[in-house]
Amino acid sequence: MKIGIISDTHNHLHNLQVALERLRQEGAEVLIHCGDLTTPETASALGGFRVIHVCGNGDIATGAIRQALLQLNPSNYSGMIYRGEIEGLQIAAVHGHVSAALQELIRSQSVDLLFTGHTHRRRDEQIGKMRLINPGALGGVRVEERSFYLLDSQTHQGRFFYLA
């Protein structure tokens, strides 16, 4: 299964639409949003995927964002920290502003894949037995080139995609 990982949209709908179109072309079925969607209107653009969304510090309207995602698909998730399984892989996601939870997940080595955002910096790093992935940012303060990530859960191969 192909998993799209995006983060820090900060209401930049154009960049989000470009990333989603590419993820559809690549065959992504699941979308993990690592926080800072910002509004329920932006959340409404995520149709066609099973969405796992963790709330970021910019997601002030968390209840409305959750409702928008559940209207798209009742199996979608929106909350502060996600832990679950995808095709035998134990995964977790947390926005980086919840630093204690992020550090505990890293320390515990209790998941195979940990997805995070907040820093607007790309990261794909093996830490012990766990792989930590930050897809970079689609909006907000520009620290690096706009990016997102695609991971194949079968082959464990992943790569960053960059927006022009």
pLDDT score for 111: 98
Pairing of strands 113-116, 89-94: parallel
The rounded average pLDDT for each run of 10 residues, N- to C-terminus, in the chain (164 residues) is: 98 97 98 96 96 96 96 96 96 96 97 98 97 97 96 96 92
**pTM (predicted TM-score):** 0.96
* Beta strand segments in the chain, E: 2-6, 28-33, 50-54, 77-79, 81-86, 89-94, 113-116, 123-127, 130-134, 147-152, 158-162
pLDDT score for 164: 76
| pLDDT tens track for 68-95 | 999 999 999 999 999 999 999 999 999 9
pLDDT score for 54: 98
Residues with Cβ < 8 Å from 49, sequence gap 6 or more? Answer: 4, 20, 23, 28, 29, 30, 31, 73
How is domain 2-162 classified at the CATH fold level?
A: Purple Acid Phosphatase; chain A, domain 2 (3.60.21)
DSSP symbol at 90 = E
Please identify which residue in the block is written with the tokens 């559809």: 24
Residues with Cβ < 8 Å from 141, sequence gap 6 or more? Answer: 120
Which residue(s) pair with 148 in the sheet? 161
